[in-house]
Amino acid sequence: MPSWDLMLAFLAATAVFAFMPGPAMIYTSAQTLARGRRAGFMAALGIHLGGYLHVAAAALGLAAVFRYVPDAYAALKLAGAAYLIWLGLNVLRRKLEVQDLPQAQSKTARRAFLESAVVEVLNPKTALFFVAFLPQFVDPAAALSVTAQFLILGTIVNFAFSSADIICVLLAASILGRLRRGGTAGRWAKIAGGSLLVGLGVRLALMRD
């Protein structure tokens, strides 16, 4: 493994990136507002597990393809953005009783998990982040192979990012709880969640790299 000095630098940089506001935080918050706290946690889990695909790709060098085939990167980015917009529109179109607010239903939570895993897999920016960030802290002279170091460091990064997502879920769930106690119509939570998903998809589609 890298030296202790390098590891400390890695952990510090990981913490900065993990808790910097980003799309994953917005996404998990949106899922929580639209579907409830359990769905938010399952969304965070889906993103977490999907992240391991990008960690493995970086370890195997597959993510580097995006550097040399821009069309592949653009196509995957647009596919992910379109999927986010579709999810948001579905949330906005869903019928909701006036007194209803998102509940922790198992079907809804499972759906949030599957959708989130797909969103993460279709996010080429995650792949590029790992392939750009991790090599800075890999020591080719270490006893462990470079591939093993990639996998270990990538796992640490993935857990750090997921911890930030969980905090966002808890904060969004707190807001949702206040809406319930105040008797505010559930449509506001649905509108907020759906609008965040659509806005995130549009932002990713229009973002210049």
Per the CB < 8 A criterion, the answer to whether 3 and 143 are in contact is no
Kindly report, residue by residue over 140-161, the tens digit of the pLDDT. Answer: 777 888 788 889 999 999 999 9
Task: Name the more confident of 90 and 148.
Answer: 148
Q: Is the confidence at residue 122, as pLDDT, over 70?
A: yes
Token pair recorded at residue 147: 């591939």
Q: Is the confidence at residue 24, as pLDDT, over 50?
A: yes
Kindly report, residue by residue over 150-196, the tens digit of the pLDDT. Answer: 899 999 999 999 999 999 999 988 877 776 655 554 556 566 667 77
How many beta carbons lie within 10 A of that of residue 35, not counting itself?
Answer: 27
Helix runs in 61-95, H state only: 65-68, 70-93
Nearest in space to 114 (alpha carbons), one of 92, 87, 93, 90: 87
Nearest in space to 43 (alpha carbons), one of 107, 100, 114, 97: 114
Q: Is the confidence at residue 90, as pLDDT, over 70?
A: yes
Q: How far apart are the first and last CA of the chain?
A: 32
pTM of whole model > 0.75? Answer: no
Confidence of residue 102 (pLDDT cuts 50, 70, 90): very low
**According to the model, what pLDDT value does residue 160 have?**
95
Average pLDDT over residues 98-122: 71
